[in-house]
């Protein structure tokens, strides 16, 4: 079942001499449950791609269908609600609410949507994250790796159609980076969670289902894993 379909996506910034074509006719799709990575050099257009798919930025042209629904044919308010219910975000800088504890940060997206958290789901996620004994801790009392695990829990709690992760290991050491990738991999298997993750580290793509490369705004599907595709 197709979850994401991107058709002929273009994004340009600026005008005249200062114009930058950040995305050039990008087309691809993701099936439900796929864990896909996007690699590419700094400035190649990876974040622009994720921000357009997450409706945090507006494409210049092209179409993005999430579970068959056209993101940019919706009115802005409708799109905001759809994004809140359908997309989970994980950022390099964690972006937790510093005044809220682990458990409260995880359920935060449900509260924003006036939904009541199911305690069984919360417990299951805390267990998956290995954070049961840290549930009352504030972000400032956690390591970077633990904070990113909370952010993963916050992305999973709504069971979104799609999780978008922009360099989720960018602020972590290699051991915590591997843990975060392992966690995303098990979430994708356990919940058939579709994930699109940017990473500049090819070594972290070994367990993903598919790798895309962005180079100067052009997206190429490298298939199974980066290493396979290179050999
Ligand atoms: N808001 C913006 N205004 C102007 N140019 C931008 C903006 N965001 C990104 N760019 C440009 O678009 C290109 C792609 O950027 P980005 O998507 O952030 O790359 P990456 O995430 O791969 O490092 C770069 O040349 C960058 O300078
Ligand atoms: Mg980026």
11 lines ligand 1 (CB under 6 A): no
Q: Does 150 fall in a domain?
A: no
Residue 200 has a pLDDT of 85
Q: Is 217 in the pocket of ligand 1 (CB under 6 A)?
A: no
| Domain hosting residue 19, numbered range | 2-95+162-230
In a domain, 145, yes or no: no
pLDDT tens across 150-207, in order? 999 999 999 999 999 999 999 999 999 999 999 999 999 999 999 999 998 889 999 9
Any idea which ligand is nearest the CA of 39?
A: 1
Residue 224 pLDDT level (bands cut at 50, 70, 90)? confident
Please give the tally of structural domains in the chain.
Answer: 1
Query: Ligand 2 centroid to 85 CA: how many Å?
Result: 24
Residues with CB under 5 A from ligand 2 (ion): 46-47
**Is residue 179 a part of any domain in this protein?**
yes
d(CA 59, CA 72): 8
What kind and span of H or E run contains 219?
strand 218-223
Determine, yes or no, domain membership for 191: yes
Element (H, E) at 215: strand 210-215
pLDDT of residue 59: 98
Protein residue with its CA nearest to atom 6 in ligand 1: 13
Output the domain CATH number for residue 202: 3.40.50.300
The span from the CA of 199 to the CA of 115, in Å, is 32
User: Is position 60 within any domain?
Assistant: yes
Distance (Å, whole) CA 60 – CA 79 = 17
pLDDT number for residue 225: 60
Q: Does 88 fall in a domain?
A: yes
40 CB within 6 A, ligand 1: yes
Residue 35 — pLDDT band, cuts 50, 70, 90? very high
User: How much is the pTM?
Assistant: 0.95
Domain-located, residue 100:
no
CA of 219 to the centre of ligand 2 (A): 14
Q: What's the pLDDT tens digit per position in 72-125? A: 999 999 999 999 999 999 999 999 999 999 999 999 999 999 999 999 999 999
119 is a domain residue: no
137 pLDDT band, cuts 50/70/90, is: very high
Residue nearest to atom 9 of ligand 1 (CA): 48
Q: Could you tell me the pLDDT band of residue 228, with boundaries at 50, 70 and 90?
A: low
Return the ligand number nearest the Cα of 18.
1
């Amino acid at each position: 079942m197709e979850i994401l379909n991107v058709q002929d996506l273009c994004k340009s910034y600026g005008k005249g001499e200062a114009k930058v074509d950040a995305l050039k006719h990008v087309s691809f799709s993701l099936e439900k449950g796929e864990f896909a990575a996007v690699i590419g050099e700094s400035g190649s257009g990876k974040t622009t791609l994720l921000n357009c798919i997450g409706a945090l930025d507006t494409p210049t042209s092209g179409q993005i269908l999430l579970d068959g629904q056209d993101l940019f044919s919706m009115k802005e308010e409708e799109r905001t609600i759809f994004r809140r219910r359908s997309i989970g975000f994980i950022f390099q800088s964690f972006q937790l609410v510093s005044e809220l504890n682990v458990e409260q940060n995880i359920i935060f997206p449900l509260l924003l949507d006036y939904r009541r958290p199911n305690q069984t789901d919360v417990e299951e996620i805390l267990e998956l994250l290995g954070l049961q004994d840290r549930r009352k801790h504030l972000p400032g009392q956690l390591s970077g790796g633990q904070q990113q695990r909370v952010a993963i829990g916050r992305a999973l709690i709504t069971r979104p159609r799609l999780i978008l992760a922009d360099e989720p290991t960018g602020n972590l050491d290699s051991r915590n980076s591997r843990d975060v990738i392992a966690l995303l991999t098990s979430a994708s298997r356990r919940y058939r969670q579709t994930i699109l993750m940017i990473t500049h580290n090819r070594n972290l793509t070994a367990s993903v289902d598919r790798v895309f490369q962005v180079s100067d705004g052009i997206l190429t599907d490298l298939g199974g894993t980066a290493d396979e595709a290179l050999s």
